[in-house]
Amino acid sequence: NSKVIQTPRYLVKGQGQKAKMRCIPEKGHPVVFWYQQNKNNEFKFLINFQNQEVLQQIDMTEKRFSAECPSNSPCSLEIQSSEAGDSALYLCASSQPGQGSEVFFGKGTRLTVV
Amino acid sequence: GDSVTQTEGLVTLTKGLPVMLNCTYQTTYSPFLFWYVQHLNEAPKLLLKSSTDNKRTEHQGFYATLHKSSSSFHLQKSSVQLSDSALYFCALRPNNYAQGLTFGLGTRVSVFP
């Protein structure tokens, strides 16, 4: 069973609305990732953290997406103004540092923007 | 930038037959290669990983060998089961681990009785 917990599993928002999803990484994992998986099952990296600090993020994330991973609280990803093209499965993942460390994924939050 | 290519979008086969899913990659750096499996409505889960050239790695009946000379990490199984029906993703992680995983487009495997 996945030890990365994502909530909610399903989220429906209107265009222009905020959409917020949360993630509890596996205990002891300092590295957290957010990916977007589209309807064609393609993965797109959004942002990642190590110990609450942003390591990398893509341009899209910098503009409409915001994310944080505060200590002792769930990580979150928020879309400020949802667009139809944001409809996708948002996957949170965590790992130990290190190139060969297994990346553990949550089951995702499926966002539908209507 | 890094890239992973999976040539088959869909593989359909009968239970008991062998399967091979192709994976090739491009990276400037020494990579770690992974195979993840994603069943319907489930989280992607690690199946195999390797960074060692020409060494076969196995798990749950699946096996793969990283060949750096051909930049390949093909996934194989000798006899598929119905429960192997899923999405399979090849991914690489460069030695700058902060970049996370770069995924291929995935191969859907459908196994029929």
Q: Which residues of B touch A100 (CB under 8 A)?
A: 32, 49, 51, 93
Residue A2 has pLDDT above 70, yes or no: no
pLDDT of residue B29: 82
DSSP string spanning B16-35? Answer: T--EEE--EEE-SS--EEEE
Residue A100 has pLDDT above 90, yes or no: no
Residue A60 has pLDDT above 80, yes or no: no
Say which of B42, B87, B95 has its CB closest to residue A99. B95
Which of the residues B97, B99, B109, B110 would you substitute to probe the A interface, choosing the one with the greatest number of A C-beta atoms within 10 Å? B97
Closest residue in B to A98 (Cα–Cα): B97
Residue B41 has pLDDT above 70, yes or no: yes
Between A and B, how many CB-CB pairs are < 8 A? 65
pLDDT digits (tens, 9 = 90+) for A28-54: 899 999 999 999 999 999 999 998 899
Cβ within 8 Å, pair B43-A2: yes
**CATH number of the domain bearing residue B43:** 2.60.40.10
pLDDT of residue B112: 96
**CATH number of the domain bearing residue A47:** 2.60.40.10
pLDDT band at B46 (very low <50, low <70, confident <90, very high): very high
Cβ within 8 Å, pair B49-A102: yes
Q: How many angstroms separate the CA atoms of A67 and A34, rounded?
A: 9
Range of the domain at A23: 5-113
Residue B100 has pLDDT above 90, yes or no: no
User: What percent of chain B clears pLDDT 90, i.e. is strictly above it?
Assistant: 85
pLDDT band at A61 (very low <50, low <70, confident <90, very high): low
Range of the domain at B80: 3-112
Structural domains in chain B (count) = 1
Q: How many angstroms separate the CA atoms of B82 and B12, rounded?
A: 11
Q: By a Cβ cutoff of 8 Å, what residues of chain A touch chain B? A: 2, 4, 31, 33, 40-43, 45, 48, 50, 55-56, 91, 93, 97-108
Report the mean per-residue pLDDT for chain B: 94
User: What percent of chain B clears pLDDT 70, i.e. is strictly above it?
Assistant: 96
Angle at A28 between CA A71 and CA B90, to 5 degrees: 110
Average pLDDT over residues A1-14: 91
Closest residue in B to A31 (Cα–Cα): B98
Q: Which residues of B touch A31 (CB under 8 A)?
A: 97-98
pLDDT band at B15 (very low <50, low <70, confident <90, very high): very high
Average pLDDT over residues B60-79: 97
Q: Please provide the size of chain A in residues.
A: 114
Q: Which of B50, B49, B48, B54 is nearest to B68 (CA)?
A: B54
Closest residue in A to B99 (Cα–Cα): A56
pLDDT of residue A62: 60
Residue with tokens 């199946």: B47
Better-predicted residue by pLDDT, A94 or A56: A94
Structural domains in chain A (count) = 1
